[in-house]
Structure 1
């Protein structure tokens, strides 16, 4: 995805073994996020479990949370290391999670295969051009049923575009080996819309720290830009929600 498929894949391949360390309690985050998403997707249409594609499943945070609530979930992700970890993590928690290694611009699923597609954790902004974002959204629309639902989460880029932050506050998680500290540095491009991210994790190592750094690039899409791209890609009823840890929108395939 984005400017270089290899660079994004490498970023998540390298991060996958440590990804859970960004959460104070990964299992609690799975349960909490699964519950929020379930409340959005279960009522539309009807009341039963859904066939769900998590097209940026990573290590499985949202996909496992939804599977544990009874939904039939399939995952896909650009990173084979993250995808493999998602399968193992699901099995360890008593649920089945079939996963494909796939670019979200080229989803390997049949048309109208899913009731819901989830694209969470700021995955879409790895795509750095309107053409690539539209390719992903058009592909998502193709695999959704006509009465299906897209659920997408991104950072609050409206605020970030105004303030141009250069770093995120450190997050601290507690492990059996001690505290893990995670933070990011943001290096904005001259266009004011894209930025290179350095993701730092300080992991206890003996009397000191092991410093792990991964790098990638994002497009800081505003709500207006993303809504326009969704409309161009065949979606309607774009609705923003405030019930998640980052801005979340839902949208439906446009008729016709």
Structure 2
């Protein structure tokens, strides 16, 4: 994970919540969903969120009563998460650490390590991916569980076929891209006015990775203003992540899809035997 990833999250820390219609509600909802998936009894779990960002899952799990330590490679994101935790009245601890250095930066071990929101897909190289997963495993107690969520690349990379010609110039079947070009714009109205969030994806020739161009368009006194952030992600298929988990020492893995788990992305739960 390189400096461009750090810069991406440092710069976007103040606006990350704009991806959501209501980020504060999302924090509580995701915390409740993960709690249902992970809780085994009434006792709180010791949780490390190693990709905490501005605190979406970490704060949510803390509000469910778990003992959470939250880390991220971005100091700006961690600072925002700490501030948001105070606003929520949530109790948790924070630190700055990259995936590859968890064993050196986080001495404790945990019942659960969480890495959500497709953060693991920043690791383009197989060796970096396996190393990061090994570091996450090192922070688990015996029998502990790692939870990783990724974008559903298996579905995104399926052949789409040729849609019907809509009758517009340049929009016939010959102009159809075999790869998704981004996300549909989402329009939100709130106290700060109207905003539009969307992504444009620029794929590499080998189709293994792509640049995410994240745009936020916000209403202003005279029209609209636009923010743009860019970083690279790997199109990480489920079989590839399962293989990397096994190479990192996780022998038991279970995939939970959104329809079953209630979480918005596919989740893999891997146990440290």
TM-score of the superposed pair, with normalisation by structure 1: 0.94
1:97 Cα deviation from its structure 2 partner: 2.4
Of residues 54, 62, 80, the one that matches 2:57 is 62
Decide whether the 8 Å contact of 1:73 with 1:97 is kept in 2.
Answer: yes
> When the two structures are aligned, how many residues end up with a matched partner?
248
Task: Please give the alpha-carbon distance, in whole angstroms, between the structure 2 residues aligned to 1:90 and 1:79.
Answer: 16
2:15 maps to 1:18: yes
Q: What is the match of residue 33 of structure 1?
A: 30
Q: 1:223 to 1:177 in 2, by over 3 A?
A: same
1:98 Cα deviation from its structure 2 partner: 1.4
1:172 Cα deviation from its structure 2 partner: 2.1
1:193 Cα deviation from its structure 2 partner: 1.1
Task: Please give the alpha-carbon distance, in whole angstroms, between the structure 2 residues aligned to 1:231 and 1:67.
Answer: 29
Task: Please give the alpha-carbon distance, in whole angstroms, between the structure 2 residues aligned to 1:240 and 1:71.
Answer: 23
Q: What is the match of residue 129 of structure 1?
A: 125
Q: What is the match of residue 163 of structure 2?
A: none
Task: Please give the alpha-carbon distance, in whole angstroms, between the structure 2 residues aligned to 1:185 and 1:194.
Answer: 13
Task: Please give the alpha-carbon distance, in whole angstroms, between the structure 2 residues aligned to 1:110 and 1:13.
Answer: 25
2:222 maps to 1:226: no
Task: Please give the alpha-carbon distance, in whole angstroms, between the structure 2 residues aligned to 1:47 and 1:96.
Answer: 18
TM-score of the superposed pair, with normalisation by structure 2: 0.88
Of residues 163, 180, 192, the one that matches 2:207 is 192
Q: What is the match of residue 247 of structure 1?
A: 266
Question: Deviation per CA, 1:156-184, whole angstroms, max 9, x where unpaired?
Answer: 01122225201101122223231110100
1:209 Cα deviation from its structure 2 partner: 0.9
Q: What is the match of residue 103 of structure 1?
A: 98
* Moved >6 Å (runs of 4+): none
Task: Please give the alpha-carbon distance, in whole angstroms, between the structure 2 residues aligned to 1:178 and 1:251.
Answer: 42
Q: What is the match of residue 3 of structure 2?
A: 6
Of residues 213, 216, 223, the one that matches 2:231 is 216
Decide whether the 8 Å contact of 1:161 with 1:193 is kept in 2.
Answer: no
Of residues 108, 111, 115, the one that matches 2:111 is 115
Task: Please give the alpha-carbon distance, in whole angstroms, between the structure 1 residues aligned to 2:43 and 2:24.
Answer: 24
- Over aligned residue pairs, what C-alpha RMSD do you find? 1.1
Ranges in structure 1 where 5+ consecutive residues have no aligned partner: none
Decide whether the 8 Å contact of 1:87 with 1:96 is kept in 2.
Answer: no
Q: What is the match of residue 146 of structure 2?
A: 150
Task: Please give the alpha-carbon distance, in whole angstroms, between the structure 2 residues aligned to 1:47 and 1:134.
Answer: 33
User: What SS is found at the alignment partner of 1:106?
Assistant: helix
1:223 Cα deviation from its structure 2 partner: 0.6
